[in-house]
Amino acid sequence: MKIAIANDHAAVELKNKIMEYVKELGHEVINYGTDSLESCNYPEFGEKAARAVAGKEADCGILICGTGVGISIAANKVKGIRAAVCSEPVTARLVKEHNNANIIAFGARIVGEETAREIVKAYLEAVFLGGRHKMRVDMIAQMEERF
């Protein structure tokens, strides 16, 4: 699987560790984030990764900023993106199973490396359940068409 990853200055160190972990799990990583600790604007990086996922250049994405919130809000502005902030692995599994989230996000200032690894693993191993959940995801896609 190809996984887009993006981050801001607050998450360079954690991004690098998560990139290595994702590779250890056997996936390809495409880095759309910054490698600099100099202050930068997370919306730019969130949009790059989201556009890669929406454009099928990547199968899914992982976004990391200070809290995971700002970068996920930016990503969710891209049509077709369902980015969800996860601070623990149960939510990461459920956003894939129930919401077919194509991007997860978390905060480098919120979760440590071990929890981040657990979140990523839970998300990548989860499978969308479809059924009643598909109907709801389709409703969200229809909302995008109205705006």
Known catalytic membership, residue 65: yes
Q: Which of 60, 65, 86, 133 is catalytic?
A: 65
pLDDT at 69: 98
Q: In this structure, which amino acid lies at residue 42?
A: Y
Catalytic annotation present for 9: no
Structure tokens at 110: 């919120």
Per-residue pLDDT, 136:
95
Q: Which residues contact 126 (CB under 8 A, 6 or more apart)?
A: 92, 93, 94, 96, 97
Active-site residue identified among 27, 40, 98, 133: 98
Question: Which has the closest alpha carbon to 23: 127, 128, 126, 124?
Answer: 124
pTM of the model: 0.96
pLDDT tens per residue, range 111-124: 999 999 999 999 99
Q: Are strands 2-7 and 103-107 parallel, antiparallel or unpaired?
A: unpaired
On whether the CB atoms of residues 4 and 62 are closer than 8 A, the answer is: yes
User: What are the tens digits of pLDDT across the range 121-136?
Assistant: 999 999 999 999 999 9
Q: pLDDT (tens digit, 9 = 90+) per residue, 65-83?
A: 999 999 999 999 999 999 9
